[in-house]
Amino acid sequence: MAEFKQADSMYEWFDQRLGIDKFVKVMMTEYWIPKNINFLWAMGVLLTVMFTLLVVSGIFLLMYYKPDINMAFDSVNYTIMQEVAYGWLFRHIHAVGASVVFLIIYIHMFTGIYYGSYKKGREMIWISGMLLFMLFSAEGFSGYMLPWGQMSYWAAYVITEIFGGIPLIGGDLVVWIRGNFYVADATLTRFFMLHVLLIPLAILGAIVFHFYALRFPHVNNEAGEFFDFDEEAEKYLAGDKVNSKVVPFWPVFLSKDFFVLGFFLLFFFYLVFFHYGFAMDPINFDKADGLKTPAHIYPEWYFLWSYEVLRGWFFEIAGISGKSLGLMAFGFANIIFLVLPWLDRSPMVKPANQRPYFKYWFWLMIADLMVLTEFGKLPPTGPNAWVGFGASLVFLVLFIALPFITKAEAKKVGGK
Amino acid sequence: MKEFKILAVIVALVGITYYGIEPYAHSVMHPEVSPADFTFKDAKNVDTSLAGNVDNGRVLVEANCIACHAIEKAGHPALMPNADAAASYGVVPPDLSHAGRIYDKNYLANFIFDPVTAMHLEHKYPAGGAKAFPMPSYNWMTPQEIMDVVAYLQSVAPKVSEGKEGHKATFEAACGRCHSMAYAKFEATTPKDSIKTYMGATPPDLSQYIKSRGEHYLHSFINDPQVLLKGTSMPRVGLTEVAQEEVISYMEEIGDSKKAERESLGLWVMLYTFVFAILAYLWKRKIWSEVH
């Protein structure tokens, strides 16, 4: 152990023991971010803030929520919403936040795809991000069950039922997940545990990993330019801030993020106080009733596209039932984004619009996801079912074709 | 400029998606129905332009109605406890104290003439069917006599205060024989088992109906349940527009009691956030002026 000299100030006392100086440099003032960025680069900080809001509001809700099928509904809609001081505020922040966090996740994710920020050394950033997406999905799904309304119950019923389609183990798996033969008290209690403990712990770990994964390949920039971060950092530290291609995380990068955050929060709080219906479905204000199926069952908006990929396959093809085909397509849709870095065979790291073939693929993919989302909500009857099938098929074809499209692009641009 | 373009693209894509999955999808799932009719113009068995005579109405009511109905406000108490009344009739017969106030005049007259057609419950009580509605038709009365009864009921109906207390009185008179409101600690006057047998299913607790159905739906539904829920055993109850609004207000006062707080706090929070956003923008400008 090094010899300690008498500290002259409290700051020095802590610095000797915790290395504050060094820590602040590594984490903040000498953590370098490219300067050539736009407001889309603020989504990570927005997500961190949203996650914090969800955790804090969740802690307040946890103090009054009762995970029991006889008490859950009233503990939310009466105790929290009407009895507890500002309980309604925490519930609104939590419910709207859970929905809006997915909007930002999607923007964050498609920004990554648009700018090619998932390849040439950035694969682990992408994978840890997709892992977070999956964890947030599980968190959203488990949380949606807790108010024990009609949509909580029936969405849980429909989604857990999906696992029943897996060959051999399907039936047993569904019972294992539910803890009963139907969605029941055991299901609610275990989803409560998952929602407030296991998944949040995993999310925290994954966030740390995601941030860590950014350290070595560094954050991408608007032009997809590769440069020597150390060299640019030296330039900055030497005082040539204008010509350096990097800025420190604090205060420069964060000052821009706070500005974006400010206007984002304005939008967010507008939703929380005045326009929350999209995140708090009216049907869910009817208490769960296993004997009364709602006329329309649909998941929250952020699951609609993958739900439609599942639902689009409604007829038998070559002796395989529509249900099995849908399940396969659904499985495909849920893992395919994870392997995106290896599906994109083109070496170009550029904004999609500057890539000769990829740009068509990107905008087609966005359009297809929008169609899937829309038809995932509409009743799957008549022509709707066929549009759903078509969009689901296009989704599969797009991802199967991506390696070929990008290979051709690589050939065209000659390895640039 | 470029950043505004990016923002415009995102706003457009999000806006289109939002429109599709919210307003549009809901309009597909819940098509618009014919507007509420508070004149009950389909009920025309009685000439309601006749002026009723209150004194004659009182005689008629005392001879024909109070064997089953209480009229507390006119000094006719209930003849038996609710549970016994429910066992006898299937459902507790309404106390008529508020009838003249909460029911539309045209509806009330036609109801007395023939309850089943006025309530739009022909599917539940078909003519000559095995089940009969507990109240008989008074189609043997002359239109003048029916209007006398209506005039009498209007004369005894007490005025209720504006605000929550009045809304509560209207709600309990209009809905409270079948529906409970747990969040107001109110239980339907007809006991659970009786009402379930009588209606075929337990009428729902209305504590959260302002949220689960919303004002727009309730506006049509209460006016005529058959329009939105064909075949339901809930009758058209014939509330005046004012009474119906009082009922909906009460449902909101109980089911969404923090609405006023939410809306006033919302403005303050947004104002605070706006100031934060402006300060953050100014700070960002200052910081970035050094690196550009």
Q: Nearest 5°: phi and psi at A113? A: -70, -45
Enter the pTM of the model: 0.95
B38–chain A Cβ distance below 8 A for any pair: no
End-to-end CA distance of chain A: 52
Q: Which residue is associated with the tokens 């009364």?
A: A292
**Residue A3: per-residue pLDDT:** 74
- Closest-CA residue in chain B for A261? B277
The mean pLDDT of A339-347, rounded to a whole number, is: 96
B-chain residues near A88 (CB < 8 A): 258, 261-262
Q: What's the mean per-residue pLDDT of chain A?
A: 96
The mean pLDDT of B143-149, rounded to a whole number, is: 97
Asked casually if ipTM beats, i.e. exceeds, 0.85, the reply is yes
Collapsed DSSP state (helix, strand, coil) of residue A216: coil
Write the DSSP symbol of residue B210. Answer: H
Euclidean distance between CA atoms B217 and B248, whole angstroms: 11
Q: Which residue is associated with the tokens 């739900």?
A: A307
Write the DSSP symbol of residue A183. Answer: S
**Residue A416: per-residue pLDDT:** 60
Q: Which residue is associated with the tokens 């337990």?
A: B202
A107–chain B Cβ distance below 8 A for any pair: yes
Q: What's the mean per-residue pLDDT of chain B?
A: 96
**Residue B127: per-residue pLDDT:** 86
Residues 239-268 on B with a CB inside 8 Å of A are: 257-258, 261-263, 265-267
Residue A207 has pLDDT above 60, yes or no: yes
Residue ranges of the domains in chain B? 1-31, 34-255, 267-292
Q: Could you give the percent of chain A with pLDDT greater than 90? A: 97
Which pair of structure tokens corresponds to residue B180? 């409970």
Residue A4 has pLDDT above 80, yes or no: no
Euclidean distance between CA atoms B171 and A333, whole angstroms: 51
pLDDT range class, residue B1, cuts 50, 70, 90? confident
The mean pLDDT of A180-209, rounded to a whole number, is: 97
Contact B152, B143 (CB under 8 A): no
**Residue B193: per-residue pLDDT:** 94
pLDDT digits 0-9 by tens, A46-93: 999 999 999 999 999 999 999 999 999 999 999 999 999 999 999 999
Euclidean distance between CA atoms A30 and A343, whole angstroms: 34
Residue A95 has pLDDT above 60, yes or no: yes
Euclidean distance between CA atoms A85 and B284, whole angstroms: 36
The mean pLDDT of B215-231, rounded to a whole number, is: 96
Euclidean distance between CA atoms B235 and B222, whole angstroms: 9
Question: What are the structural domains of chain A?
Answer: 40-297 (1.20.810.10), 319-416 (no CATH)
pLDDT range class, residue B171, cuts 50, 70, 90? very high
CA A122 → CA A46, A128, A342, A358, distances in Å? 21, 10, 12, 18
Euclidean distance between CA atoms A141 and A300, whole angstroms: 9
B33–chain A Cβ distance below 8 A for any pair: no
A-chain residues near B257 (CB < 8 A): 82
The mean pLDDT of B102-106, rounded to a whole number, is: 97
**Residue B97: per-residue pLDDT:** 96
Residue B259 has pLDDT above 90, yes or no: yes
Contact A105, A136 (CB under 8 A): yes
| Beta carbon pairs, A and B, within 8 Å | 131
List b or e across B229-240, with b for residues whose CB sees 16 or more CB atoms inside 10 angstroms: eeebbbbbbbbb
pLDDT digits 0-9 by tens, B9-32: 999 999 999 999 999 999 999 999
**Residue A206: per-residue pLDDT:** 98
The mean pLDDT of B102-109, rounded to a whole number, is: 97
pLDDT digits 0-9 by tens, A254-294: 999 999 999 999 999 999 999 999 999 999 999 999 999 99
User: Residues, chain B, total?
Assistant: 292
Euclidean distance between CA atoms B68 and A281, whole angstroms: 43
B-chain residues near A247 (CB < 8 A): 291
Residue A2 has pLDDT above 80, yes or no: no
The mean pLDDT of B259-281, rounded to a whole number, is: 98
- Closest-CA residue in chain B for A38? B3
**Residue A415: per-residue pLDDT:** 60
Question: A392: distance to nearest CA of chain B, Å?
Answer: 17
**Residue A208: per-residue pLDDT:** 98
pLDDT digits 0-9 by tens, B34-50: 999 999 999 999 999 99
A285:B290 CB<8 A: no
Chosen from B221, B272, B283, B292 to mutate, greatest number of chain A CBs within 10 A? B283
One-letter amino acid for residue B126 of the chain: P
